[in-house]
Structure formats: structure tokens, C-alpha cells
Amino acid sequence: MSATTVVETWTEAPLVRYVGQASARLVVVMTPSGQVLAQHGFARAMDLMSAAALGAAIMASSGALAQLLGEQTFGALFHAGVHHGIHLAPCATPRGGLIVLTVFGRETSIGLVELFYEEFAAALKRAAPVDQVREPVLAKDFEADLHRSLTSLFRR
């Protein structure tokens, strides 16, 4: 399965375009707490939730390290593997800060992913509804939110 599915519909058009332009294999658009808003390419809910949680944790760790060094943020992170690379970057929108995790293969390059990520981030910013601020995720709602997200994303 390589479909794009979204929880929040305003993310869909920019995500579909980004996936096509950057030739990304997997993409997750999430909140800094790891709540998934949209995804492309994941076949299993477990993989998606793991990727989102780990991506959010990496951004939180690097953000804390940046603060220790007196930086506001380090911006995008890039890790290169033999067969895959990952690009993890923040994106500010009127709906609040988001994190985008992109997994790509050798058919594209980090240069192309970065190039098209800038367009994607700008498109998300334009598409985000300005009149709604996201509610913080509370522990008591977490399971229900997670279940709702998985249902939307995997049509179950």
C-alpha cells in the first residue's frame, strides 16, 4: 500500500504534491507530541505510530540540546543510510508547530527532499486553518485520540 491518508484534510493536497515532487517513500506529518495528522506509504498502524513517536522524540531531544548550546533550534535533521535516508524537520503553521518525517531512497537525494520540503512547509502554512488552535493532548484523551487517528488513517 502506498496511499496517502490524512486525519486533517487541509494537509492532503500539500502532502500529495510533496510526495510526488520529492519521490519520498514514507512521510509522516505530526504534532510535536507525536500525534499523526497525515501519512504516506505506511501499511501498518504499528509502524506509523512507532515512526511518529520516535520522530517526535528525536526532535524533542535535539531541541533540548539546541537550548543547552544557546540555539533556538537546529532546524532540519538528516540521517543517511545505505538504502534509505531520513529528513526530519519542524514546520510552523497557524495551527501550531508540526514535525514532518520523510523517508527516502536512492531514487532521490537529500538535496531534492530539502528543496521540495521548503515548498511543502510553505504550502502547509498557507493551507492550515487560522481560526482553530489545536488543543493540547491530555493523558485522559490520548487513547481515544490515537484510536480515532488510526481509524482515519487506515480506514478501519
Partner 1 sequence: MSEPLQRALDRISRVRGVRGSMWVAAEDGIPVAQLLMEGVKGKAVAALAASLARKVSGAAAATGAGRVRFVQMEAAGGTLLVAPAAQDLLIVALADSRVNVGLARLEMIRAAEAALA
Are residues 102 and 113 in contact, defined by beta-carbon separation less than 8 angstroms? yes
Residue 136: Cβ-neighbour burial (10 angstroms; 0-12, 13-18, 19+) = exposed
Q: Find the binder of partner 1 among 70, 81, 111, 136 (CB under 8 A).
A: 111
Q: Find the binder of partner 1 among 13, 112, 137, 146 (CB under 8 A).
A: 112
Q: Find the binder of partner 1 among 109, 125, 137, 146 (CB under 8 A).
A: 109
Strand, helix or coil at 69?
coil
CA dist 93 to 10, 97, 108, 126, Å?
Answer: 12, 6, 27, 8
Residue 110 interacting with partner 1 (CB under 8 A): yes
**For residues 55 and 61, what is the distance between their CA atoms, to the nearest angstrom?**
10
Residue 145 interacting with partner 1 (CB under 8 A): no
Residue 114 interacting with partner 1 (CB under 8 A): yes
Strand, helix or coil at 142?
helix
Residue 35 interacting with partner 1 (CB under 8 A): no
Query: How many residues bind to partner 1 according to rule CB under 8 A?
Result: 8
Q: Find the binder of partner 1 among 33, 35, 108, 152 (CB under 8 A).
A: 108
- 22 or 59: whose CB is closer to partner 1? 22
Task: Catalog residues that contact partner 1 under the rule CB under 8 A.
Answer: 80, 108-112, 114-115
